[in-house]
Every structure is written in structure tokens, then in C-alpha cells.
Amino acid sequence: MLVGNGQQVVTSFHMAAGKVVCNLATPLTPGDLWLGELPNDGLAARIDPLTPSYENKKPKSIEPFTRLTAINDEFFAKRWLAKPEQIIFTHPDGCELEGWLMKPYGYEEGKQYPLVMEIHGGPNATYGNAFFHEFQVLAGMGYGVLYTNPRGSMGYGEDFATVIIGDWCGIDARDLQFMAEEAASLPWVDASRFGVTGGSQGGYFTNWLVSHTDMFAAAVTQRSMSNLYTKYGTADNGWNGDKFGMGGADLWDNEELIMSRSPIRYANRVKTPLLFLHSDMDFRCPLEQAEQFYVAVKRNGCPAEMVIFSGENHELSRSGKPANRLARLDYLTGWFKKYMG
């Protein structure tokens, strides 16, 4: 068993010949290889990259890991990095919701700064103590960054993760709006320059939020969903994915529920300037999901633009062509700069 100390994520590991090597990341490092002995007394090996002083305090039967690589040290030595600060939101119903805030480059007490909320996909995914390049880019440009785990996220128990089944854009979206409103009240946040973005299910939430609140100054919806009716049967993860997520609701026995949780129904309410980023080979959230929402908000007078990446799929931001990944960041940051300064 591996026991981490501090903020870190083990993304992969391999064990052989009494040793284990793992790829360890932290909020300030994308990842390096660490090597350790497998304990033969049933206790855990300990990885402690952030607190070297622990070396002198460890129990004798727990051996620390040795860092093998320092791939990005020279690169990061010349660059500023934002350190995430944990924030716990207590919902009015008593549920505790975890999030993190990154203050912007050049932060000074007493001043106010724009803030961007980043929403993860899934919905059963999770944010954690890992390195997020996009968040660092935004923070380096002078934006605060908020990222959170609303109900439906993994890592907080089965009840927390499954409570959203049959209630997409219900309690989860209310959690997101609640946390956004709480963050907007922080002294250093300029609530008039609050942006929102997310991809996949996070894009679905982005579409939902801008159709249900005007609190955001700008939004970027990425590889998103907008119409659960037309998505049925067209996504590459099968028709049963959305059906399960909606608690078994079917087009023919509960069309009202499906459409009531589809942002397309509320497109005429959207006033927030909205940028669409989508790939033409995205089969998880097909391109038509973005196209129809773009047309709907555009015809209703909302400032909107759409960028389609040719030859890319649902993984554009993670494994797309480098030039397209850079272009995506340029479009995203350019949109916030245009509407939030």
C-alpha cells in the first residue's frame, strides 16, 4: 500500500522485484518518477515530496521514496506558478463541498481581480491535487481560478456520487451556482468580471448555468451537450449512458424530464457572451449538440461565436494536436480577455 503525504496524486505505478516505481504529480508539478522498496512488514511505503523534513521523523519501518527524475524543474525555475488553496463550502442543506482557489499573478491584498470557474466533466469525475496547465495559464494572465467538486463527483463516497442519478442539472447545477455565488462574495473577487467554462458534462453545466443566471460576464462551453433528446443514441458510449444518468428516463415515457434538463429549452434566456469550442470528430458529445445551441442563442441576440477544430475528437484539450491545443487556449483566454479585461 502506498501512503501519500500532503497534496499529491499517483497517476500510475509498477511493482517488481520488491520495488515500486510510480509517477507522482502535485499541484505544482506535472509528474516525476519515484522509486521505493516494497515493505515486507505489511506497512506502507511513504512518498513525501513536499515535506523533506519528514525524513527525520518517519517510523523506522516506513521507508521514503527516492525521486528519480526532475523533468520540469529547470523550466519551472523561470516561471511563476499559482498555488491552489483549498476552500470548503457548506451548502444550506448541510452538505460540505470541496473546491480550490488559485489567486492570480501579481495578487495584492486590497485589490479585486476577475475570476474564472472551471467545471469538470464526467459527471462522475473529480478534481484533486494534480497539476492543471489550463488553470495555471489563466492565473498567469491575471485571472483567479475556482474549481470545485459538486455532488456527483467521485472521491466523497457512493451516496455523494450517485445522488445525481435522475437529476442531471438538478442538485449538481445548484451546487455549482451556490459555490460560484459564495466565491463571488470574496473580497478579492470582482463579481462583475466572473467567467465560467467547462468541457463535456462541464460544458453541459456551462450551457445550463448561462441559461439560468446572468451572474457571469463571459462563458466558454467546450465539447458540450445541450439537447438530451437529440443526443439519445448518437454518442459513442451508447444510448444507455444518458438513460442511466437520467434515472432510466426514456424519450417515450418521460420526454418532459429529458427536455426540462436540456439547456436548449432555455436558450432564449441566454445573455452571457458565449464561445463554443468543439471538434468535428467528437463522437462522445456530437457536434450537433453545440451547433444547435449556438444557432439558438445567436438567433436570440446573444453575443456568440463558434470554433470547430477539424480532425480532433473529444480529447482535444488533453491529447489533440499541439497546434490545436495552443489555438484552443488562445480562443479561450481571448474570449475572457474580450469580455472581462
C-alpha 283 chain-centroid distance: 20
Whole-number pLDDT of residue 10: 86
Q: What is the dihedral of CA 51, 135, 330, 284, to 10 degrees?
A: 110
- The answer to whether residues 66 and 47 touch, using CB atoms and an 8 Å cutoff, is no
Cell of 165: 442519478
Active site residue 314: yes
Q: What is the mean pLDDT of residues 44-53?
A: 52
| Catalytic residue, candidates 200, 211, 226, 279 | 200
The HSE-up count of residue 235 (CA atoms within 13 Å, CB side) is: 22
pTM for this one? 0.92
| Catalytic residue, candidates 120, 224, 279, 314 | 314
Choose between 136 and 41: higher pLDDT: 136
Whole-number pLDDT of residue 305: 98
DSSP state of 238: -
Domains and CATH numbers, the chain: 2-76 (no CATH), 85-340 (3.40.50.1820)
Write out pLDDT tens, residues 70-90: 999 999 999 999 999 999 999
User: How sure is the predictor about 241, in pLDDT bands with cuts at 50, 70 and 90?
Assistant: confident
